[in-house]
Amino acid sequence: MTIYTVDKKTFAVLDENNATVASLLYTNNAFDDAIIEAAEKFALNGITTGTWITYGIDDNSTKIRSKIRVETGGVISVRLPWKKKKYLFKKSAGWKLRFSLVDHAGEDVLTLVPTVNWQKESHDYILQLNEEFEEECDSFLILQAVHSANCSLSMMTGGKVPALVSI
């Protein structure tokens, strides 16, 4: 799978045939609200400073599918209550900027390497999947990581996403 940056507010996950299997479309420049289209359609909403929830749109229930929260130290936690999983999204400490989504055991599930796309005024992402976790890395989880990367990059560059954690 690869990640394709359509424009400043739209990202798509492509399969090996370059067909779109999922997309993330922000409705504003602050990364507060978005629509995720994967196997189902989801809404991603910012509920407080540094916290977002994702829930299904098509079903009439308000079951939370994910909760993303900026933690102390710039780490972002991604919780999937329906799978009973928690991941941490971390920025590398080296010179080459990269983001890693790690599981509870500290294993890298996936890595995103951002590059600036000046024409689209956004970032392109190189997706690196850990072969051991390919089954776990569905398009929904990949888009949760892309959202976390967008928020992290916005915080680092002084964007509209708040860098502070509500305590």
Higher pLDDT, 31 or 98: 98
* 33 CB-side CA count, 13 A: 2
CB neighbour list of residue 61: distance below 8 Å, 6 or more residues apart:
none
Whether the pLDDT of residue 165 is over 80: the answer is no
CB neighbour list of residue 94: distance below 8 Å, 6 or more residues apart:
none
pLDDT band at 40; cut points 50, 70, 90? confident
User: Residue 130 has which token pair?
Assistant: 């850990």
Q: What is the mean pLDDT of residues 42-62?
A: 85
Backbone φ and ψ for 98, nearest 5 degrees, come out as -155, 150
Q: Where are the domains of the chain?
A: 2-156
Place of tokens 């999922």: 22
Whether the pLDDT of residue 60 is over 50: the answer is yes
Return the minimum-mean-pLDDT range out of 66-70, 77-81, 131-135, 145-149.
131-135
- What is the CATH T-level fold of the domain 2-156, as seen in this structure? Porin (2.40.160)
pLDDT band at 162; cut points 50, 70, 90? very low
pLDDT of 59:
67
Average pLDDT of the chain is 86
pLDDT of 160:
55
Query: Structure pTM?
Result: 0.88
Whether the pLDDT of residue 9 is over 80: the answer is yes
Q: End-to-end CA distance of the chain: give it in Å, rounded.
A: 37
